[in-house]
Chain A
Amino acid sequence: MAESRPLGVPAAGLVLLVGVSGSGKSTFAARHFTPTEVVSSDTCRALVADDAEDQSATPDAFDLLQHLVGIRLRRGLLTVVDATNVQPDARAQLVALARGHDLLVDAIVLKVPARVAVDRHRASGRTFGRTPVERIVERHDRDLRRSLRGLRREGFRRVHVLDGVEEVEAATVVRERSWNDRRELTGPFDIVGDVHGCASELRTLLERLGWELERDDAGRAVGARHPEGRTAVFVGDLVDRGPDTPGVLRLVSGMVAAGTALCVAGNHEDKLVRALRGRQVKVAHGLEESLAQLAEEPEEFRERMTAFMDGLVAHYVLDEGRLVVAHAGLKEAYHGRSSRRVRAFALYGDTTGETDEFGLPVRYPWAQDYRGSATVVYGHTPVPTAEWVNGTICLDTGVVFGGALTALRYPERELVDVPAEREWYAPARPLAPMVPEREPGALAAADVLGTRWLDTTFGPRVKVPEENAAAALEVMSRFAVDPRWLVHLPPTMAPVATSSRDGYLEHPDEAFEEYACAGITTVVCEEKHMGSRAVAVLARDAATAERRFGVTDGSTGQVVTRTGRAFFPGDLGRRLVASLTEAAAPLFERLDTDWIVLDAELLPWSAKAGELIREQYAAVGAAASVALPAAQEVLDAALARGLDAPALTALADRTRRRTHAAAAFRDAYRSYVRPTDGLDGVTVAPFAVLAGEGEAYAATRSHRWHLEQVAAIHGHPLVTPTRHRFVDLADAGARGAAAQWWLDLTAAGGEGMVVKPADDVPVPGDGRRVQPGVKVRGREYLRIIYGPDYLDALDVLRNRHLGRKRDLALKEHGLGLDALARFVAGDPLWEVHQRVFAVLALESEPVDPRL
Chain B
Amino acid sequence: MLLTVSTTHRPATDLGYLLFKHPDRVQEFEQSFGSATVFYPEATEERCTAALVLDIDPVRLVRSRPRGTPDFSLAQYVNDRPYAASSLLAVAIRRVFSTARSGRCDARPELAATPIPLEVRLPAVPCRPGGEAGRDLLRRIFEPLGWEVEAHDVPLDETLPGWGPSRYLDLTLSGEVVLADALNQLHVLLPALDQAKHYWEAPDEVDKLLRSGGDWLAAHPERDLITRRYLGRRRALAREALTRLDELDGRPGAETTDGEQQEEQAPAWRPLHQLRREAVLDVLDELAAAGATSVVDLGCGGGQLLADVLARPAYAVVAGADVSAVGVLATQRRLRIDERSLRRTPDRQAEALRARISVFQASVTYTDERFAGYDAAVLMEVVEHLDPERLPALERVVFGEARPGAVVVTTPNADYNVRYPDLTGFRHPDHRFEWTRAEFAAWCDGVAARTGYTVERRWVGEVDPELGAPTQLGVFRRG
Contacts and interface: CB of A to CB of B under 8 A. Distances in A.
Given A444-B367, A445-B367, A626-B154, A648 B80 contact: no
Interface in A665-701: 665-666, 670, 673, 675
Given A638-B41, A789-B57, A443 B361 contact: no
Interface residues of A, number: 72
B268 interface: no
A618 B166 contact: yes
Contacts of A494: none
Nearest to A662: B83
Nearest to A666: B157
B366 A447 contact: yes
A648 B83 contact: no
B26 A643 contact: yes
Contacts of A788: 78
Contact of B323 (A439, A446, A473): A473
B353 to A, nearest CB: 19
B205 interface: no
B133 to A, nearest CB: 16
Given A623-B154, A626-B123, A617 B78 contact: yes
B156 A847 contact: no
Given A448-B366, A482-B390, A619-B166, A630 B123 contact: yes
B50 to A, nearest CB: 10
Nearest to B73: A616
A797 B57 CA distance: 12
Given A648-B39, A651-B37, A471 B325 contact: yes
Nearest to B432: A569
A634 B51 contact: yes
B363 A445 contact: yes
B392 A441 contact: yes
Secondary structure type dominating chain B contacts = mixed
A847 B78 CA distance: 25
Given A473-B325, A623-B166, A618 B362 contact: no
Contacts of B389: 482, 553, 555
B323 A670 contact: no
Nearest to B322: A474
Interface string B366-390: 1111100000000000000101011
A183 to B, nearest CB: 32
A848 B387 CA distance: 28
A622 B163 CA distance: 11
Nearest to A551: B389
A478 B431 CA distance: 11
A333 B51 CA distance: 77
Interface string B116-155: 0000010110100000000000000000000000000011
A624 B82 contact: yes
A478 B323 contact: yes
Contacts of A441: 392-393
B59 A638 contact: no
A633 B60 CA distance: 26
B156 A618 contact: yes
Given A641-B42, A787-B58, A618 B363 contact: no
B80 A647 contact: no
B84 A627 contact: yes
Contact of B80 (A555, A620, A790, A847): A620
A446 B363 CA distance: 11
Contacts of B76: 616
A643 B40 contact: yes
A439 B59 contact: no
B365 interface: yes
Interface in A598-653: 614, 616-628, 630-631, 633-635, 637-638, 641, 643, 645, 647-648, 651
Contacts of B37: 647-648, 651
Given A445-B366, A473-B363, A631-B2, A622 B53 contact: no
A789 B59 contact: yes
B446 to A, nearest CB: 14
Given A631-B53, A789-B58, A473 B361 contact: yes
B215 interface: no
Nearest to A782: B77
Nearest to B4: A634
Interface residues of B, number: 71
Interface in A811-851: 847, 849, 851
B324 A474 contact: yes
Contacts of B323: 473-474, 477-478
B155 A622 contact: yes
Contacts of B363: 445, 473-474, 476-477
B329 A849 contact: yes
A622 B159 contact: no
Contact of A623 (B84, B324, B362): B84
B367 A620 contact: no
Contacts of B369: 444, 446
Given A622-B154, A627-B83, A643 B39 contact: yes
Interface string B176-215: 0000000000000000000000000000000000000000
B396 interface: yes
A289 to B, nearest CB: 41
Contact of B325 (A474, A481, A618, A666): A474
A608 B126 CA distance: 25
B79 interface: yes
Contacts of A477: 323, 363-366
Contacts of B13: none
Contacts of B362: 445
Given A444-B366, A477-B323, A630-B121, A614 B163 contact: yes
Nearest to A620: B80
B59 A796 contact: yes
Interface in B8-64: 24-26, 28, 37, 39-43, 49, 51, 53, 55, 57-60, 63
Contacts of A474: 323-325, 363
B361 A449 contact: yes
A439 B393 CA distance: 9
B167 interface: yes
Nearest to B370: A445
A600 to B, nearest CB: 23
Contacts of A626: 83, 123-124, 154, 168, 170
Contacts of B167: 619
A785 interface: yes
B326 interface: yes
B160 interface: yes
A145 B326 CA distance: 63
Contact of B365 (A443, A634, A849): A443
A786 interface: yes
A179 B471 CA distance: 65
Given A626-B168, A847-B325, A638 B39 contact: yes
A647 B123 contact: no
A793 interface: yes
A616 B78 contact: yes
A641 B41 contact: yes
B146 to A, nearest CB: 24
Contacts of B367: 442-445
A618 B77 contact: no
Interface string A761-791: 0000000000000000000000011111110
Interface of B: 1-2, 4, 24-26, 28, 37, 39-43, 49, 51, 53, 55, 57-60, 63, 76-80, 82-84, 121, 123-124, 126, 154-160, 162-163, 166-168, 170, 323-326, 329, 361-370, 385, 387, 389-390, 392-393, 396, 400, 430
A-B CB proximity, top 5 nearest? A637-B41, A793-B59, A645-B26, A622-B166, A623-B83
8 contacts: A474-B323, A623-B168, A625-B158, A645-B25, A648-B26, A658-B82, A793-B57, A847-B326
Given A626-B123, A631-B1, A797-B59, 18 more contacts: A446-B368, A473-B361, A477-B363, A555-B389, A619-B166, A620-B83, A626-B124, A626-B168, A634-B4, A638-B26, A638-B41, A641-B40, A643-B26, A647-B26, A648-B26, A658-B82, A786-B77, A787-B77
